[in-house]
A = this chain, B = another copy of it.
Amino acid sequence: MGVSDCSDIVGVLGGMGPAATLDFLHKMLEATPARSDQEHVPVLVASIPQVPDRTAAFRGEGDSPLPALLASGRRLAEGGAGVLVMPCNTAHLWFDALQSALGLPMLHLVDAALAEAVALAGPAARIGLLATDATSAAALYPNRTPAGSALQWVMPTAGEMLDAVMPGIAAVKAGDHARGGALLQRAADALARRGAQALVLGCTEIPLVLDAERSPLPLIDATAALARRAVAWSLARRAGAAVAIAD
């Protein structure tokens, strides 16, 4: 256990929410070229959803999720994960604190999504962002715009956040996918009207209800982007290749 310097095991710090974690794991399976069980990528998952609400913590209205995130990260490290990923955008507000406390390499969801956004829409595209208000207010996406690109961001208005995005995400977490999908599609339509050329799904609940067919714009699914990056990391590690971990 714990020989993480040569482990090809992907540690998934999940549970935020549990359905989004399963969506991420499905997307890892889809991203893996495998003809048998044994060819799939090994994963350890901590889906321990008793993490204080990330958005409430950012607003100063609830406990910090950091102690719970650290506890889950330590479970994965002790279990032998060689790298950590977090299929939750908002939790990335605590990414740097986690990485330095855990001493394990981590793959950043926003970097994975932005690389796919630039590849899909070009380095100067107008990108719409659907995310929690904490992810948006902390400028998690704009702050990590890749070097050499000049993405412009089209964000929901305060009213759209209040009336569509946040209640849409809450409806998905409560299992009401019909209501969540309708609210989030309305928010996506507003971004398209204001000139967005592509849309980042920057909260892992959103791709559960908004797919390419329902979206008015080409999509960058941050969950899928991180899944592809995690699979590539593990396959490269298994092949013994040197892996450069961004950040």
Contact = CB atoms under 8 A, between A and B. Distances in A.
Interface of A: 1, 9, 15-19, 22, 25-26, 29, 34-40, 42-51, 53, 74-76, 78-80, 173-175
Given A22-B29, A46-B79, A75-B80, A174 B38 contact: no
26 contacts: A1-B74, A1-B78, A9-B48, A16-B37, A17-B37, A18-B25, A18-B37, A18-B43, A22-B22, A22-B29, A25-B25, A35-B174, A35-B175, A37-B51, A37-B53, A37-B173, A39-B49, A42-B47, A43-B47, A44-B46, A45-B46, A45-B47, A75-B78, A75-B80, A76-B79, A79-B79
Contact of A48 (B18, B43, B78): B43
Given A1-B78, A22-B26, A50 B42 contact: yes
Copies in the complex: 2
A39 B174 CA distance: 10
Given A1-B75, A78-B78, A42 B37 contact: no
A48 B74 CA distance: 18
A15 B25 CA distance: 12
A9 B40 CA distance: 25
A46 B174 CA distance: 26
A25 B15 CA distance: 12
B75 A49 contact: no
Contacts of A29: 18-19, 22
